[in-house]
Structure 1
Amino acid sequence: MNDHERDALLASAVRLRTEGRAEEARQRLLALGAAFPADAEVAYQTAWAHDVLGLEAEAVPFYERCLEGTGLSEEDRRGALLGLGSTHRVLGHHRRAVEVLRGGVEEFPDDGALRTFLAMALFNTGEHHESSRLLLELLAATSEDPHVRQYRRAIEHYAQDLHATM
């Protein structure tokens, strides 16, 4: 199989997943992965197909494989880090979720989705202060609500120490 055929098969599998035909996509991606075992993009799409089907435990090795390899776009790498961290959280592997998501936030500090999922995983590990801090900082930085924007400085201040008073 050449690269052109690989690209066509991958696009077809992604289309199936987006059309709600995730099991068909998964089967095609597993076959494609057998032909291209070191292909990070194929591994990422295979992980995603497993996640969509609720097969989180089966998705983990594909996420790990795609993150170990090269060839993911920046956007797909962000998605893979979020997917792996979220999947670990769903599986109850909260410390591992925090580790993966923290690494994702370090790599992509501007990614609000990664910070949000990290906050959820931190909550699950009992790190409530850091979880709240992350969410308050994200709220202050991204909210379009005029009332939140009016109190942005105060929210950012309190995010650092929820026990503080002005």
Structure 2
Amino acid sequence: MSGTTKKDLLQAAVRLREQGDPEAARQQLLSLTAEYPEDAEVAYQTAWVHDVLGLEAEAVPFYERCLGTEGLAAEDRRGALLGLGSTYRILGRYPEAVDTLRLGLSEFPEDGALQTFLAMSLFNTNDHHDAMQILLRIIATTSSDAYVQRYRRAIEHYAQDLNETV
């Protein structure tokens, strides 16, 4: 395919995934990763398609590669940190999930999805207190439920110390 660039091939693979043909996208992305092993964007898209296919263990090295290489756009880095953290969690690698998601939150502190996946991972490491704190804060700040908003200050207060009593 003379004249076809890496960018064209990558976009075509992403389109395949988005249009519901993740296996064809995976094959194209694996070819691209063989040709461009240090390309962060190719590695990220390859990780993503493996996750879509339920091939979490196979996704991990691609997530790790894209995060360890320069050139990933900020929004893709956010997605890669969430994807890797979530994938570690699914694989039962809870401490790695917590570390990855905390790194994500150090870079993207307002990301509610990173916070939520961190709470799930903390639950898995038996850190129930911190998991509940995170979830209570998310509920208090993002819920549109009128009753939650009526008690928002109290929820935020108790999120600081769930053991507080009168």
TM over 0.5: yes
CA displacement at 1:165 relative to structure 2: 3.0
Could you list the runs of 5+ residues in structure 1 that have no partner in the other structure? none
Aligned residues: 166
- For the pair 1:5 / 2:5, whether they are aligned, the reply is yes
Runs (4+) off by over 6 Å: 1-4
1:149 corresponds to which residue?
149
2:119 corresponds to which residue?
119
Residue pairs, 1:71-110, within 5 angstroms: 71-110=71-110
Task: Quickly say closer, same or farther: Cα 1:3–1:161, change in 2 above 3 A.
Answer: farther
- For the pair 1:159 / 2:159, whether they are aligned, the reply is yes
Residue pairs, 1:18-29, within 5 angstroms: 18-29=18-29
Identity %: 64
Distance in 1 between the 2:146 and 2:4 partners? 50
1:160 is matched by which residue type in structure 2?
A: Q
Could you list the runs of 5+ residues in structure 2 that have no partner in the other structure? none
2:76 is matched by which residue type in structure 1?
A: D
* RMSD over equivalenced CA pairs, Å: 1.5
3-12 or 135-144: which moved more? 3-12
Q: What TM-score comes out, normalization by structure 2 length? A: 0.96
CA deviation map 1:109-159 (0-9, x unaligned): 010000000000000000000000000011111111111111111000100
2:31 corresponds to which residue?
31
Q: What TM-score comes out, normalization by structure 1 length? A: 0.96
